[in-house]
Structure 1
Amino acid sequence: MPQQEPAVQADSWKSAVSDLFGGGWTFAQVGPRRHDDWRRDVAAVMGLKTTDPRGWSSVNYAPEVGENRSGTNSPFFSWSSEEIDRSLHEIGMRSAGQLLVALKGDSYQAANIPDFDQQRDRLCRSSRVILSRFSTHSRFFTNAADAHRNPDADLLNPDTEWDCLSVYTTDCGLVAVSDTEIGVFWAFWED
């Protein structure tokens, strides 16, 4: 029997975002979709130039690096639409859900989450809550290279490289694109 998609509301959203992005070097922001070219809206969310259209919780736990290489308070470099397009690869909803969980683990691996087997059901439910905010016609993108030729890549424990978009040594994340909203969910690492 397929799992029913949980309904998302402000309190379930806050709980799910806290569960998956409530610690470590993480970023979870949603902004409005204002342009046909969604990449412009992604750049605005990454550049901290938007606020959540619903007024719901967001997270920016990306610590400052020794030098502010972005020139802003954002953990991301300022990217053009074309540069974002080259770095992001479209994935399916299943892979997107896996990746949201994996971002909680060291090296973006769910296997590196302490007591993952005991937490798996809760973390997967949090992932489904986050994704349920975006319509069934939404598109999902990641900078994980495994997704370049395989939109259904297993991203729960990816063995891949990432096209980094942030000021940090390594980063990995998910972009959710609906007709009305853009979500950016990211984790970072600095050597």
Structure 2
Amino acid sequence: MEKQEPAVDAAGWKSAVLDLFGGGWTFVRTGPRNDDDWRRDVRAVMALKTDDPRRWLSLDYAPEVGENRSGTGSSFMPWSPEQLDASLHPVNSGPATQLLVALKGEHYQAASIPDFESHRTSLFESAARIVSRFGPGASFFTNASDAQGNPDADLLNPDTQWECLSVYTTDCGLVAVSDTEVGVFWAFWED
């Protein structure tokens, strides 16, 4: 029997998002699928031009910088859909769940989460709850280069480089795409 991922409601979403993204330089935002090209919808979420269709919790805890490097007020550069293709690599739901946990740690490493082993189960439950919002047919993408050509890459403690999409020194994240919604889950690092 295949393990079924937990269903999520607004309260479960809020709890999971705060568990994984509530304490660092992070960005969590979802938006509707309005375009046949999901990349345009992701770009709208990154540019803060859309709201969560369910009106659930969003976060934008980006580090402050002395200048607005994107020219838009967003943490992300104004990427074209074609540029997103070059930077985002497809991953399966298992690595996507791992990466959501890893984004909580310093330099996107689960090993750097304080007392990780004692929190491991609850962190993975939160990540599974977030992934479940997008349904079993969802697609996931990351800018972690370990995933390039390897949709089953181990992303819990990636030893990788990142195709930065934000205005910050380093960033890493996950894009989730369903038939009706897109989600952007990102962490930033600024020297």
Residue 66 (structure 1) shift? 1.5
Tell me the distance in 2 between the aligned counterparts of 1:152 and 1:4: 19
Tell me the distance in 2 between the aligned counterparts of 1:85 and 1:2: 32
The runs of at least 4 aligned residues of structure 1 exceeding 2 Å deviation read 1-4
Q: Contact 2:63–2:188 at 8 Å: present in 1 too?
A: no
The 5-angstrom pairing of residues 1-191 of structure 1 reads: 2-191=2-191
How many matched pairs?
A: 191
Greater CA drift, 170-179 or 59-68: 59-68
Greater CA drift, 56-65 or 155-164: 56-65
Identity %: 70
| SS of equivalent to 2:141 | strand
Write out per-residue CA displacement over residues 135-167 of structure 1, whole angstroms, 9 at most, x where no aligned residue. 211100000000001110000000000000000
Write out per-residue CA displacement over residues 40-98 of structure 1, whole angstroms, 9 at most, x where no aligned residue. 00000000000000000011000221211011221000000000110000000000000
Tell me the distance in 2 between the aligned counterparts of 1:149 and 1:72: 32
| SS of equivalent to 2:128 | helix
Tell me the distance in 2 between the aligned counterparts of 1:79 and 1:85: 10
Tell me the distance in 2 between the aligned counterparts of 1:189 and 1:92: 25
Tell me the distance in 2 between the aligned counterparts of 1:2 and 1:138: 17
Tell me the distance in 1 between the aligned counterparts of 2:17 and 2:100: 10
CA RMSD of aligned residues (A): 0.9
Unaligned 5+ residue runs, structure 1? Answer: none
Q: Contact 2:63–2:190 at 8 Å: present in 1 too?
A: no
Tell me the distance in 1 between the aligned counterparts of 2:2 and 2:92: 17
Write out per-residue CA displacement over residues 97-156 of structure 1, whole angstroms, 9 at most, x where no aligned residue. 000000000010000000000000000000000000002111000000000011100000
Q: Contact 2:103–2:172 at 8 Å: present in 1 too?
A: yes
Unaligned 5+ residue runs, structure 2? Answer: none
Tell me the distance in 2 between the aligned counterparts of 1:80 and 1:149: 22
TM-score (norm 2): 0.98
Residue 7 (structure 1) shift? 1.3
TM-score (norm 1): 0.98
